[in-house]
Chains A and B, each alone.
Chain A
Amino acid sequence: MSTNQQTGTFDPGESSSTNDQELQTSRSYDANYSVVGARPGLSSSSAKRLARGLGWFSVGLGLAELLAPRAIANISGVSNKHTGLIRLYGLRELASGIGIFAQKKPTEAVWARVAGDALDLVSLGVACTAPDAKRGRITFATANVLAVTTLDVICAMQLSNGKQGIHASASCVVNRPLEEVYNFWRDFQNLPRFMRHLESVENIGEGRTRWKAKGPAGIDVEWEAMIVADVPGEVITWRSLENSDVDNAGAVRFEQAAGGRGTIVRVNFEYQPLAGALGAAVARLFGEEPNQQLDDDLRRFKQVLEVGEVVVSDATLLGTGYMSQRPARPAAASELEGAEMLPSETATNYRSDERRSEGRTM
């Protein structure tokens, strides 16, 4: 990469502060066209303060469980026989406490606390069924755990719903000249040819584009985006404008591969999923892993540039995900009606004329 490359953070959540002066598309835009390695701003300080409080609570309870398991058993009304188990739970508490202090933004550690709370509640429920159970004390302990669980969930949700969106990155080598690869991407209207979830991208002037996509579960989403920086042959970054259904930002960099063996394309993409963290979790359940999705999109990008269109097999007529595979046999016409992308319909053979003039390769 060039030595004058600048790096910085690039936070899609700030798109609301965009004004027209930022609509420059040249190198003079002295900023942040890189999202590589960028970590967007920390979430609200109150969630972080709460997380630290929960961290100290974890450490305290963990130490108590580890060092005085009998006292804990007494207070919570469970049998003294379970001191070994209580010590183990103490270790777990200590681990999540340390996890919270070890991370700048302890989202995972707080979610781990939520999982631990669930385990505690189950254990108390089981203890309640024992013949020698002291039900009053167990009920009191359960109420306490429930209170802490509520705090944990609130804190975890706040951390998850913060500015940190879903980040995906992928790269590929395209066996075509850098200029051609850059130009193809720079015309955003080409993107739906290889990005499976995009339906259309439309130029609306002043460097702005209107994007339409299919979200998880087939929900239609729309947003407008602007180009943040555009250095021909090097990098393009864009981000969504105010009132977007899905806040997002992306950067694509182009680099000549060593030895003149084509063009390396690296994409970083970040978005706020619909319905926040819950939406992201549901999307993952349906096999929409963001890195994988971007990786597959880039594979199709390479196919369009190198062979002229997106390549399909019988098994991948309805998509390349594990859940979308159909048997490797021809599809009946009725089955094809549901296909999201049939190259013979969507792709116009991009390289057609050129390949003819190139002649057969062998």
Chain B
Amino acid sequence: MKANCWYGKTTLSVEDVPDPQILNQRDAIVKISSTAICGSDLHLYNGLIPTMQRGDILGHEFMGEVVEVGREVSNLKIGDRVVVPFPIACGNCFFCKEQMFSLCENSNPNAWMAEKMFGHAASGLFGYSHLTGGYAGGQAEYARVPFADVGPIKVPDHLTDEQVLFLSDIFPTGYMGAEMCDIKPGDTIAIWGCGPVGQFSIRSALLLGAERVIAIDEVPERLKMAEDGGAETINYREESVYERLMDMTGGRGPDACIDDVGMEAHAPAIINAYDRVKQAMMLETDRPHALREAIMCCRNGGVVSVIGVYGGLIDKFPIGSVMQRSLTIRTGQAHVQRYMRPLLQMIENGDIDPSFVVTHTMSLDDAPHAYDIFKNKEDNCIKVVLKPDWNGNGAAKDDNYPVIH
């Protein structure tokens, strides 16, 4: 089969690899119809996540058709159309029973690596380095899906791939970012980052009852998409985020702040240079500008929700501001399995149509180019969907994929 493989910093190759097989009895093999590139894939692309190995298959947002199931999978059958959540979770351990699926204790065979880095290991993830298990990713024609009796959900045929694909990651992730804010009627929520996850946080915050959502970014088309979703916007290149937010909230600050940016934040020149130098010298692994700013801006007693991905260590963390002002920090990789069914229901009800975020649909063969334009925000790229059987002429070979631009 064809698969998008990592060969080093900004080096990808779509090449032929062996087809996946059933390895555990709760596995399924899925023939992938659509797979997306996630902002967090760019951390791998940029070489910032340790324990990658040459030849690793990338990708953790994917869906398709079940073509094979292991002996122990009784809830799926061949031909089912499913969306696969990016965390791999067993459903049996303490954390799965507590609905904290991204902390599954059994799905990461390389837990020892993560324990060395983080103290404890979280769940296995698809296509996201060896310290999260070393599972082949979903930017491929087929994928092996462990614990297929727990993760994948069947989706109805009347919804397009683009409407349901993002249940695999960015919709639940953006939603959990908003949910962690404990939004009450009348709340003002500030959101750093208008990438795909940020876009879903904006819409989720409004769905959860926020009165105002203020979104922060610098890229015009992303700010435009945020406004279309109901947010007021701040371009941090044009004005001071802190001053503008204080002005908008009468000096009190937003009730909750969401960091939808993570470890590769861009920032005004001097701070950006400072963090880039430290990152390059391995003195810190993550550039936490958005997180620092979110903390400083949040109102007293408010919530800072961190859903953007961090992988290591930071410095100049304003812990004094957090402690003195009774802030709450909430965070975590999305417990996707917890959200898939309710969010699918919202899509079916017409409360939200996640396909709005797609700007590019391309063939899996074009993955290296897709990463390049996504990273550099060229061609107004916000979200890329890759299709293994895309013929490049605006239609899939076996039709019925809508083109959304």
Contacts and interface: CB of A to CB of B under 8 A. Distances in A.
B106 A320 contact: no
Contacts of A356: 74
B20 A330 contact: yes
Interface in A14-73: none
Nearest to B127: A328
Given A328-B136, A361-B97, A307 B92 contact: yes
A355 interface: yes
B187 to A, nearest CB: 30
Contact of B18 (A175, A313, A330, A344): A330
Nearest to A312: B23
A306 B5 contact: no
The range of chain A's interface size is 35 or more
A296 B115 CA distance: 12
Interface of B is mostly: loop
Given A292-B112, A311-B106, A355-B72, A329 B17 contact: yes
The range of chain B's interface size is 35 or more
Contacts of A361: 91-92, 96-97, 150
B91 A315 contact: no
Nearest to B19: A330
A144 interface: no
A343 B21 CA distance: 13
B279 interface: no
Given A175-B93, A360-B75, A307 B55 contact: no
Given A329-B136, A331-B18, A303 B106 contact: yes
A296 B112 contact: yes
A311 B54 CA distance: 23
A316 interface: yes
B134 A307 contact: no
A121 interface: no
Contacts of A344: 22-25
Contacts of B133: 313, 315-316
Given A173-B94, A344-B22, A327 B110 contact: no
B134 A309 contact: no
B112 A262 contact: no
A356 B25 CA distance: 13
Contacts of A355: 72, 92
B130 interface: yes
Contacts of A320: 109-110, 112
B130 A325 contact: yes
B362 to A, nearest CB: 21
Contacts of B53: 315, 325-328
Contact of B17 (A295, A306, A307, A330): A330
Contacts of B144: 314, 330
A299 interface: yes
A343 B144 CA distance: 15
Contacts of B5: 327, 329
19 contacts: A175-B97, A306-B105, A307-B91, A308-B25, A313-B124, A313-B136, A313-B146, A316-B110, A316-B133, A325-B134, A328-B53, A329-B56, A333-B18, A342-B23, A355-B92, A356-B74, A360-B75, A361-B92, A361-B96
Interface of B: 3, 5, 17-26, 53-57, 71-72, 74-75, 90-94, 96-97, 105-107, 109-113, 124, 127, 130, 133-137, 144, 146-147, 149-150, 337
* Top-9 shortest CB links A-B: A315-B134, A327-B55, A328-B56, A316-B109, A330-B20, A361-B91, A328-B134, A332-B18, A306-B92
